[in-house]
Amino acid sequence: MKKISLLLLPAVFLVAGAMTKVKHSNQKPVEEDSAVHYPMEKHLKNIKQLTFGGDNAEAYFSFDDTRVVFQATNEKWNTTCDQIYYASFDTFSPTLISTGNGRTTCSYFLPGDTTILYASTHLAGSECPPKPAPREDHKYVWPIYDSFDIFVADLHGNIVNQLTSMPGYDAEATVSPKGDKIVFTSTRNGDLDLYTMNIDGSDVRQVTTELGYDGGAFFSPDGKKLVFRASRPKTDEEIKIYKDLLEKDLVMPTDMEIYTCNVDGSDLKQITHLGGANWAPYYTSDGKKIVFSSNHVSKGYHFNLWMCNTDGTGLEQVTYDPTFDAFPVFSRDGKRLIWSSNRNCGKAHALNLFIGEWKN
């Protein structure tokens, strides 16, 4: 799962970060088309809010940059757990594309923009799979539902292909800008590793092999490299906790760093060494920098977008919302950034989609 639950996180991260001073701008925001733009956000302009209410995340551009696909939970849309929607930017009227059954995650346009892949649990039942029970230690965990498989649907919601059918978790799939490969996360070998396959599901190859959670991977603009988040348990205690959770189809995502590697897994490098949860990385359109979400300043629920060079140098803060910014994704032409944020939601705790023009 790529998405952090806004209902579960505060109880964990607020406790963890309660005694830490958060370095955020105290300046009043600038209103832009009912959105919120903080003055220190120098890389963004003409910000617009796309959704209003619910839990909206993981928005990805079509190949021609005219549409977006995303996952949402919204009572007004009669969804009780994440389903997949797509919309055109000219009207932005979201259309349900997933089955409406089970839980979905991680959608992405395929070449031609007439089909979309996403992961879904609907084959295991129409109901939303159960959420993990609260832990006595109050630590936050993600469910890794073993009923997730990856499907392809047309824009009318008809499933036209099933790309995975192995036992275990198969999700977090994204597509190379070259249109030839898909990268995804799977537990088919007993650990959470990255794999690639052709866009028809053939030629599956394992990419990562180290113990730990490798997920949320994206291709570089030239299709030659991957950027992803990873946990790397080292001590005996950390390894035991990780393995015990994985046996229960759970993972604890509070200690993750950003890594890159070649598509075949070679030249693996840890890019960030910040501590806390560093995740949702995405290459800039020129491939020279990586934008990601991090709470390394607060060690709590306060996530902002940050940017660094591909070797980890030149760290720079991008957003300054006092609560939550994540899932940054560039348009194919590099002129716009779309992301999810709590800004402008008052006390509603909604996670909405925002889009802005990008300034280098």
Judge residue 113's burial from the number of C-beta atoms within 10 Å of its C-beta, 0-12 exposed, 13-18 middle, 19 or more buried. middle
Per-residue pLDDT of the chain (360 residues; tens, 9 = 90+): 455 444 434 333 332 332 222 334 444 566 566 689 999 999 999 999 999 999 999 999 999 999 999 999 999 999 999 999 999 999 999 999 999 999 999 999 999 999 999 999 999 999 999 999 888 888 889 999 999 999 999 999 999 999 999 999 999 999 999 999 999 999 999 999 999 999 999 999 999 999 999 999 999 999 999 999 999 999 999 999 999 999 999 999 989 999 999 999 999 999 999 999 999 999 999 999 999 999 999 877 899 999 999 999 999 999 999 999 999 999 999 999 999 999 998 767 899 999 999 999
In this predicted structure, what is the pLDDT of residue 138? 82
Phi-psi region of 299 (alpha: psi -120 to 50; beta: other; left: phi over 0): left
Instruction: Tally helices (H) and strands (E) across the chain.
Output: 3, 28
In this predicted structure, what is the pLDDT of residue 8? 39
Backbone angles phi, psi at 330, to 5 degrees: -90, 145
In this predicted structure, what is the pLDDT of residue 33? 61
302's tokens: 């306060």
* Cα–Cα distance for residue pair 292/273, rounded to 1 Å: 13
* Rg over CA atoms, the chain: 19
Alpha helices, H only, the chain: 9, 15-17, 236-247
CB crowding 240-249: b at 16 or more within 10 Å, else e: eebeebbeeb
The distance in angstroms from the start CA to the end CA of the chain is 30
Could you tell me the domains of the chain? Answer: 9-358 (2.120.10.30)
* Cα–Cα distance for residue pair 359/214, rounded to 1 Å: 31
pTM here is 0.92
Q: Which residues pair with 95 in a beta bridge?
A: 86
* Cα–Cα distance for residue pair 187/202, rounded to 1 Å: 18
